[in-house]
Amino acid sequence: MNVGVVGNPTYPDLGSILATLAGAASRFGLTLYSEASLQPLWGDGQPAPPPRLADAPLLDCLITLGGDGTLLRGARLLNGANTPILGVNLGRVGFLTTVTPDMLDFALDALVRQAYATESRLALIPSIVGKGGKGPTREQPIVLNDVVVHKGGVARVVRVKVSVDGDEVAQYSADGIIVSTPTGSTAYSMSAGGPIVVPGVDAIVVTAICPHTLAVRPLVLPSHVTISIQPIPPWTDEVLVSFDGQVGSAMQQGERLEVRRAPQPVLLIRLGPESYFKRLRRKLHWGDLTDRVRR
């Protein structure tokens, strides 16, 4: 079984976790392929670090070591490959991840026996279309959480035209626009007042960040539509597009962003019976009133 490994090197215990993973992989008959930035961290437990992930054949699984951000980066690296992701949480919340480091042996055993379930998560393909639709189109890797249009530098208002399948919705004055998947509905979109959308719902959410009118509310759209966002002059300087809050690109005057559903979902491995709503309660303290004192 070919297993890719992606990790966040800022976690202080990552080296020891990689050593544990290397030992477990030999017991379970797994062939590991490491992200290039992790290769110096595998330590003395191996005669050599695993081969580079870029040189891997078809992967049976991708393991991400970190938090939700690491899992999002792993999904972007797969870029539509039909490879399930096993998220190992080294951080605090880890809402998208599945297991903790002390469960690694259990998780690898379940992986080998295929004793796990997968959740299909809708992903998005963003593209930046050239001026007037005639210039070159810059298609970006898939995103699992969200695509955000916003101003660079200090916080400033951006004015944009939002259209759905070519039909103009409105012209927004706001600090930015978030186009979110159901997975991303519990991230930036939720912080901006957007709804929580259960991952099984085929929908895309458009949420304005601090809109300058009370008439603007989040939109929940069917997943088959194409969403277009175009900055309106003279608010076209220093407009940026961020992908999953990790990488971004500048938009030039006359360009527009198009966002559509990716043809392939992202597959997240789940172990055990914990439901989505239980994770909401446990990790996001959804509906938690335990800090209130009964009088």
Distance (Å, rounded) from C-alpha 286 to C-alpha 292?
14
Element (H, E) at 4: strand 2-7
Order of strands, sheet of 219-222, starting from the edge strand that comes earlier in the sequence: 219-222, 203-209, 176-180, 146-151, 239-243, 247-251
Which amino acid is present at 90? L
Which amino acid is present at 112? V
Chain centroid to CA 127: 17
Which amino acid is present at 283? K
Contacts of 169 (CB under 8 A, 6+ apart): 162, 163, 206, 219
Contacts of 93 (CB under 8 A, 6+ apart): 67, 68, 283, 284
Nearest to 198 by CA among 284, 98, 122, 147: 122
Q: Tell me which of 55, 60, 68, 146 is the catalytic residue.
A: 68
Chain centroid to CA 27: 31
Distance (Å, rounded) from C-alpha 7 to C-alpha 97?
13
Nearest to 147 by CA among 173, 183, 174, 118: 183
Distances (CA, A) of 272 to 135, 275, 276: 49, 9, 12
Q: N- to C-terminal Cα distance for the chain?
A: 58
Annotated catalytic residue 291: no
Q: Which residues are catalytic?
A: 68
